[in-house]
A and B are shown apart, each in its own frame.
Chain A
Amino acid sequence: MSIGPDILVSGRRQIVALSIFLVIQTLGTVFYVGDVIADLREDPASAHFVFEAIVTAALVLGVILGTFALRRTIELLRSQEQALAVARGALSEVIEGQFDAWALTPAERDVGLLALKGLDVAEIAELRGAAQGTVRAQLTRIYSKAGVSGRAQFAAFFVEDLLSGGLKAA
C-alpha cells in the first residue's frame, strides 16, 4: 500500500481546473459569437463590430487551444499513471521501504522510480512536465541521500541487495 504520488493528485486537480475553465470559456464564446452575428446584421462597418469580431475570434482560438492543452494534460497524466504502475511491480515494496529509509520527498520518489526503470533525464523530464535541470538536481539529491556515486550505483544498490537476499539497514 503506497501513498498516491503527489504528482498525480496535482495532475488531476489541474485537469479539473482546466476543464471548468474550458466550459466557462466556451459559454462566453458562444454568447459572444451570437452577439457578433446579430451585430453583423445591423452594422458591419462600425468600430464596435470590428472590435467585437476580433475579440470573438480570439475567444474561439482560445477554446480550441484550451481543448488541445486539456487533452495533452490528460494524456500526460495517463502516461505518468502507467509509468508509475509499471514501476510499482514486485519490487515496489522493497524500493518504497528503502526510499522511506532515505527520507526521499514525494517528488524524489517519483523521479527515483522512473530512474530505476531506466528512463533518462530527458524522458523523466518529459513525463513529469518538468525542466531537465530540475530532474538532474533531484537525481543528484537522491544519489547523495542514498550515498551512491551515480545512476549505475543507484540501480545496482537494489539489484545487489536483492541478490544477497535482503536490504541492509540504511
Chain B
Amino acid sequence: MAVTAKPKLDAQKLRADFPIFEQLVHGKPLAYLDSAVTSQKPRYVLDALLNFYETSYGNVHRGVYWLSERATAEFEAARDKVRGFVNAPSAKEVIFTRNATEALNLVAYAWGWDNLGPGDTVVVTELEHHANFVPFQFIAQRTGATFKAIPIDGAGELQLDALDGLAAEGNIKLVAVGLISNSLGTINPVEKIAAWAHEQGAVMVVDAAQAAPHKAIDLQTLGADFLAISAHKMCGPSGVGALWGKAELLEAMSPFNMGGQMIRQVRMEKTTWNELPYKFEAGTPPMAEAVAFGAAVDYLTAIGLDAIEEHEHELAAYALDRLGELDWITTYGPPADRRAGIVSFNVEGVHPHDVAQILDWEGIAIRAGHHCAQPLMAKLGVAATNRASFYLYTVRDEIDRLVAGLHKVRKVLT
C-alpha cells in the first residue's frame, strides 16, 4: 500500500458543518475563540440528538417493548463508541455521567471515602481546574488525609523534580492530574506521573476533559486508573460525560448515586448493587445526549484526532507569534509545541472583563476570568486572564481579528 500524507484539516470547509456560524453577532461574523469552555456543535450531532427523540425515544434498560429495546441498543452502542475513543478494554468500565466534573466527584466520593484516612496523601497539581482540585481537597479534609499539589514553574509546566519530596512526606494514595490545562493549554507528562504514582501504590486519576477534544486518548499508554471526559467540549451535547475506571477498582467501590437501575435487589434490611457499569448509573440517564455523544465521537474520528491536534498547534503558534509582536501583551504558558490550542494573556493596564467586552462588539468571543483555576491564577500573580482557545473550526483570520480587536481595546481604555 502506498504511503500518502494524511490530508490536513480544512477548517474553513468544516465550518459549514456548524449552524452557529450562520448568524451574525453585533452585525459581524462570529469569531468563537472560547472552545476550551465548550465547543460548538456540528449538524451531524444535532441530527443524532433529534433523531433519537423522533425515532427511538424510550427509557433504557426498563421496557420489554420494541421502543425501549431500540433506545437501549443505541445507548449501549454509544457507550461502546466512547470505549473505543479512549481505548478502554471493556464497555462495562465506561460509566455515563453528567459531565467530567461529576465523573471526578464520583471518584472522590466512591473511591476516596473508603480508601483515604489520616496518614494518607492526595496529590493534585497547581494547574488543575477546580473540578479536579476541590473534590479531592474536600474528601481529603473529610477523611483526615493530607492534600498536596505538584508545583509549576514560570512557564506553567509541572515541576516533576518535586515528586520525590512529595513521596518522602507521606503515603500517597491518589494522584489527580489534568492531561491538558484548561487555563494555559499545557500538555502534562501524565505517563511519567502515572508511573511515579503507581510506584507509590497510588491510583492515578486523569482529567481528560480538555484533552479529549484535541488529541487521541489512549488510556492504556497514559497509565490511568480513572479517566474523565465531557461530551460538550468535544462537539457533543451538554449534560453527558463519561468516567472510565479499571474494572477491579470499580467493582470494589460503593455506589455514588443511589436510585433506580443501580440496584440488584432492594429489601428493608439490605440492598445489593447492579453490575458494572449500571451500579454507577442511578436514575434515567441522559439518553439522547449519550447517543449524540456517540455521534460526536464518530464525527471527530472521521476528521482524525491527529489532524485536529496539528491544526490546533499551528493556530497556537500563530497566535503566540502575533501576540508576541505586541509589547503591551503578556502571554502565559509553555511554548507552542508543548501546548494545545489555548492562549492565555493579559493586556497591560486593562482588566480582562473590559477586553472581552470590547471584543464582543467586534463579534469575537473570548473568556475572561480565572478559568476555574484560582490556585493557578494566584501562582501567576493575577486575578484573571483573557483566554483565546481554538478548535477544528477555527481559522487564522479569526486570530487576525482578535489582534485587531486588541488594538481597539487599547485605544479605548489606555
| Chains A and B come from one and the same complex | no
The interface of chain B, by Cβ under 8 A from chain A, is none
The interface of chain A, by Cβ under 8 A from chain B, is none
